[in-house]
């Protein structure tokens, strides 16, 4: 939990810098360097999760299921990035041992974890899928408005 408290608000901040999230997520307390909006939004999301789950293992199932989706899709982007940067192969800029075997094993491991949770705790897998799809829809809506502006 500690790593989530530290990393997720910073991810929101970075996404704001990249233009994926609104610029409000870049707001910091100048004196202390605290990411006020990102941390507040993340805390609100955590509180909402607590309303859906009243036991620690339920909260864990929900968050691990969402993490498995996020980690598997994040890892899958290596294939897209490799294809887009094929012209950099052999330049020494990046290399990965046992490519593509290791990313595939990583992705399959997270898909396995997500599948086990979906089988053992289908309610939280459905809620997690709904949350993921809702945020994915928000992303595409924000991108559509961004391109119109």
Q: What integer pLDDT is reported at residue 116 of this predicted model?
A: 96
Average pLDDT, the chain: 87
Q: pLDDT tens across 45-56, in order? A: 888 878 877 788
- Asked if 35 and 27 touch (Cβ cutoff 8 Å), the reply is yes
pLDDT tens digits, 18-50: 888 888 999 999 899 889 999 999 888 888 878
Residue pair 24/33 in contact by the 8 Å Cβ criterion: no
> What CA–CA distance (Å, rounded) separates 55 from 11?
27
Confidence band (pLDDT; 50, 70, 90) for 139? confident
Q: What's the CA gap between 129 and 61, in Å, rounded?
A: 12
Q: Are residues 68 and 111 in contact, defined by beta-carbon separation less than 8 angstroms? A: yes
- The predicted-structure confidence for 69-125, as pLDDT tens digits, reads as follows 989 999 999 999 888 988 888 787 777 788 889 999 999 999 999 999 999 989 889
Residue 36, pLDDT score: 92
């Amino acid at each position: 939990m500690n790593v989530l408290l530290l990393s997720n608000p910073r991810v929101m901040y970075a996404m704001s810098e990249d233009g994926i999230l609104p610029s409000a997520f870049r707001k910091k307390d100048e004196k202390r360097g605290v990411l006020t909006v990102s941390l507040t939004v993340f805390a609100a999301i955590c509180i909402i999760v607590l309303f859906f789950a009243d036991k620690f293992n339920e909260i864990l199932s929900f968050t691990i299921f969402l993490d498995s989706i996020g980690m598997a899709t994040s890892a899958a982007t290596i294939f897209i990035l490799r294809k887009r940067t094929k012209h950099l192969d052999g330049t020494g800029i990046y290399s990965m041992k046992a490519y593509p075997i290791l990313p595939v094993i990583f992705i399959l491991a997270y898909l396995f974890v997500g599948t086990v949770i979906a089988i053992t705790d289908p309610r939280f897998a459905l809620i997690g899928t709904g949350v993921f799809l809702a945020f994915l829809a928000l992303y595409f809506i924000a991108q559509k408005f961004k391109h119109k502006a």
